Structure 1
Amino acid sequence: MHLAAALGTELVAIFGPTPPERFGPWPLDNPRHYVVQAPASGLAGLEVGEVFALVEAALAADREEAPAEAPAETTASIQSVAKGKSSAADAREAPIEIKLFEPRHAEPFRRLNLDWIERFFEVEEQDRRMLGDPQQAIIAHGGEIVAAEAGGEVVGVGALQFIEPGYYEIAKMAVDPAWQGRGIGRKIMARLIERARELDAVRLLILTNTRLGPALHLYREFGFQEIPTPKDSHYQRVDISFELQLTPES
């Protein structure tokens, strides 16, 4: 791993209880380094979809930077990893639509978020408040929720939580594990940022945890910069925070 990092190669590092911030590839925030840490239950609790999403992202980055005539060994390697997708996932051809909140989205918003929170952490009071009645807790207070749909099925969600005029928190992003690796998280993030601009936001905040490797990579990909964590974060699990300054679109 460290040799690959030193050579500037895309890499995927999987950690158990060992903290990646101390023993991971250096520098940890290099966009070519994809790091994921297993939940407290151990490596057995790590979803295959999470790891595959990182491998797919690394391979995609490698393909973009590779010469036009890549060696046959490279092509074979990419194809062999791609075959790891389940046939069920390959059969999913429905287009992904990102929609603004409708009352029917409340249940999948709660379910998809509880899935990742319970796997990695403990459900906190702020989680219960936002997931119990998202329309009242988020939308009624000036925020927004979006849902990614495929053939009428909600496969991903995300929210904008109002903080103060011009300042919103991106929160409660989740993608169904069966649909991970298809760029749905990127679509949700792009729509949330677009919606934030429509709401005249100038800054966006993200409160998260270093164990969520794929999510951290996504935030950095969209230009979020690490900042000191606010003291009133409302979550015990938060150990890293990001902010994005929105500039007017030309």
Structure 2
Amino acid sequence: MSAQVLMRRRKPEEFLPKELLMLADPEWSQVEKYLDQSSWMVAECEGRIIGVCGFMAVDSSAGEIMNAAVDPAYQGKGFGKKLILLTLEQAQNDGYKKVIVRTGNSSLDQLALYQKCGFRMVRIEQDYFVNNYPEPIYENGIQCRDQVILEMYTRER
């Protein structure tokens, strides 16, 4: 029998594992910019955080998913999607009309996941990762060069 995974809001005093956060953003200095300004949903299994989804207000009607990551041992089981949907539900309950998410052109699984959650691609910022990250990033055998911006309106869900 497998252990139960609990989805919940992060407690204010709770530590978020750095190695988990860096799965979604390999540059720690970038993570530090939004870490304390975001609200977080977490997936917990046997007292350990195995997934995170951060949300930060952009303005009074829009917010952005800043980091969504699941421990590799738990990936492919729907926990990432559940965290994102829980975050979207909370954003809608808090009055946000639009939610944005940004990812890399090489993040094929993430692009699929966000679209399955209802996001639509709206823009590409060419060479974002080349210009803003000190080391090249490679995923799926592809250099992560461009940032893909997706958005959704919370009432569309």
Q: Give runs of aligned pairs for residues 1-250 of structure 1, distance below 5 A.
A: 93-108=2-17, 110-118=18-26, 123=27, 125-130=29-34, 134=35, 136-138=36-38, 144-229=39-124, 236=132, 238-247=146-155
Q: When the two structures are aligned, how many residues end up with a matched partner?
A: 143
Change (3 A) 1:239 1:230: closer
Distance of 1:246 and 1:125 partners within structure 2: 30
Indicate the structure (1 or 2) with the bigger Cα radius of gyration: 1
The amino acid that maps onto 2:6 is E
Distance of 1:117 and 1:201 partners within structure 2: 24
TM-aligned CA deviation for residue 165 of structure 1: 0.7
Post-superposition Cα deviations, 1:26-73, rounded to whole Å, max 9, x if no partner, equal xxxxxxxxxxxxxxxxxxxxxxxxxxxxxxxxxxxxxxxxxxxxxxxx
Q: Which residue matches 1:8?
A: none
Distance of 2:19 and 2:87 partners within structure 1: 20
Distance of 1:107 and 1:239 partners within structure 2: 25
Distance of 2:24 and 2:155 partners within structure 1: 32
SS at match of 1:201: coil
Distance of 1:210 and 1:99 partners within structure 2: 30
TM-score by length of 2: 0.79
Distance of 1:168 and 1:220 partners within structure 2: 17
Structure with a larger share of its residues in helix: 1
Asked whether the equivalents of residues 207 and 229 of structure 1 are also in contact (C-alpha less than 8 Å), the reply is: no
Structure with a larger share of its residues in strand: 2
Asked whether the equivalents of residues 55 and 64 of structure 2 are also in contact (C-alpha less than 8 Å), the reply is: yes
- Taking every aligned residue pair, what percent have the same amino acid on both sides? 22
TM-aligned CA deviation for residue 199 of structure 1: 0.9
TM-aligned CA deviation for residue 154 of structure 1: 0.6
The amino acid that maps onto 2:32 is R
Distance of 2:147 and 2:25 partners within structure 1: 15
- RMSD across aligned positions (CA): 2.5
Asked whether the equivalents of residues 155 and 175 of structure 1 are also in contact (C-alpha less than 8 Å), the reply is: yes
Change (3 A) 1:105 1:238: farther
TM-score by length of 1: 0.51
Structure 1: give runs of 5+ residues left out of the alignment.
1-90, 139-143
Post-superposition Cα deviations, 1:199-228, rounded to whole Å, max 9, x if no partner, equal 101101011101111111011111111112
